[in-house]
Amino acid sequence: NAGVTQTPKFRVLKTGQSMTLLCAQDMNHEYMYWYRQDPGMGLRLIHYSVGEGTTAKGEVPDGYNVSRLKKQNFLLGLESAAPSQTSVYFCASSLYPPWDNYGYTFGSGTRLTVV
Amino acid sequence: DAKTTQPTSMDCAEGRAANLPCNHSTISGNEYVYWYRQIHSQGPQYIIHGLKNNETNEMASLIITEDRKSSTLILPHATLRDTAVYYCIAITSGTYKYIFGTGTRLKVLA
């Protein structure tokens, strides 16, 4: 099993460009999450999904949109990239909610630089 | 969610037990304590979690004080591969927005 796969692994964008980060999981997990991690900081939740066709805002949702059209995929979109969105983005999934499971499975991250 | 406080960094000799403390003095009765670690720049890895009782798995042990205001993650025989940032998180039943703080940077020394 591949677990949680994130593509791309690295990307450089110019300010104002758009892009989509793809997260795919093959564990039939119900719940999926997008986090960002800035240097010297912990992870902050951007958006999450509690099942196919659902999305919800996390702690820092501004400037991002998400979609969960298929259970196995969770897409994170940047419509108009800004330098403040330079970060490492992690996707995670879990079979059960955060308070009732044996932890999330995280992807290896996407390192995004906006110039 | 309860705020957790951890030391910024710790060192541990290889082969010795690593004891990582976490303070969560404002924790409520329905908040779980979860531990994750992040090795270098990889995605975080789940280690263990608990509510009231002490817990043990193949990776570590979690000791939660009786008043639940603090906990300790124990890696019984630390190896160089355990060098990582360790996060202690309090997760409330029913919420998705919990906080990964800055964690404890554990360095295992040869």
For A83, phi then psi, to 5°, come to -55, -30
Nearest to B108 by CA among B51, B54, B37: B37
Q: What is the DSSP string of B81-95?
A: GG-EEEEEEEEETT-
List the helix and strand counts (H, then E) for chain B: 0, 9
Residuewise pLDDT in 10s, chain A (115 residues): 679 999 999 999 999 999 999 999 999 999 999 999 998 888 999 999 999 999 999 999 999 999 999 999 999 999 999 999 999 999 999 999 888 778 899 999 999 999 9
Residue A50 in tokens? 């509690």
Q: How many CB atoms lie under 10 A from the CB of residue A27? A: 14
Nearest to A91 by CA among A16, A27, A39: A27
Q: Do B100 and A88 touch (CB under 8 A)?
A: no
Distance to chain B for A14, nearest Cα, Å: 24
CA distance A32 to A1: 17
Tokens 């110019």 appear where? A14
Q: Do B44 and A106 touch (CB under 8 A)?
A: yes
Q: Do B95 and A109 touch (CB under 8 A)?
A: no
B1 band by pLDDT with thresholds 50, 70 and 90: low
Tens digits of residue pLDDT in A81-103: 999 999 999 999 999 988 877 88
DSSP B80: G
Measured between CA atoms, the residue of chain A closest to residue B46 is A103
Task: Give kind and range of the element (H or E) at residue A108.
Answer: none
Q: How many CB atoms lie under 10 A from the CB of residue A64? A: 19
- CB-CB contact of A92 with A104 (8 Å): yes
Question: Which of A44, A99, A109 faces B43 most closely, judged by CB atoms?
Answer: A109
Which residues sit opposite B63 in a β-bridge?
A: B72
Contacts of B36 in chain A (CB under 8 A): 103
Q: What percent of chain B has pLDDT over 90?
A: 74
CA distance A53 to A73: 10
Q: What is the DSSP string of A64-87?
A: EEEE-SSTTEEEEEESS--GGG-E
Q: Do A4 and B43 touch (CB under 8 A)?
A: yes
